[in-house]
Amino acid sequence: MLRSRHRNAVRRAARGGLLLSALAGSALPACRDVVVPLENPAATTFAPALNVNLAAPGVVRTSSGLYYQDLATGSGEVADSGKTVRVFYAGWLTNGRQFDTNRENNRPLEFALGTGAVIRGWDEGLRGMRVGGRRRLIVPPSLGYGARTSGRIPAGSVLVFEVDLVSIATPQ
């Protein structure tokens, strides 16, 4: 919302036929409805250390825009929606900066797959993985955090994850 004096100045400018864009350099407060450009994985340059090549054999692009690649195929049970999975992971921004990992603490993350407990890119990208497998996920913003900042992840970011499927919990 504009402060009262700014709102009145905008009204006067509009009545006088002036374009609101002429106010861009004025002392108006910052607008909270800023449009954040969303990165496109196919048009993104990835840091060389990430070893991401979207055109490499074995890289799959889903209809939602998620890319994934099996780095190691497991031989255990298959992850599917509704199953509780345990994973080790590391996540990076496209510039190569790691923003999160649970590998050092030796405590796998546990969650029910396909229930919205994690970002949509994980719910989609981990389905079909086998226990013992490692998968790289290239998550577009629409399946990650979108146009909002989350911790050390800037708004609009493509995310790169390597996820190890450790186990699938047996229902009690």
pTM: 0.78
Architecture of domain 41-168: Roll (3.10)
Give the pLDDT mean for 51-59.
96
Write out the catalytic residue numbers: 89, 99-100, 119, 145, 161
Give the pLDDT mean for 143-160.
95
| Gap between the Cα atoms of 132 and 165, Å rounded | 6
Q: Which of 125, 160, 141, 153 is nearest to 48 (CA)?
A: 160
* Helix (H/G/I), strand (E/B), else coil: 165: strand
- Kindly report, residue by residue over 25-52, the tens digit of the pLDDT: 444 445 456 666 788 898 999 999 999 9
Give the pLDDT mean for 130-138.
98
pLDDT at 38: 83
The domain limits of the chain are 1-33, 41-168
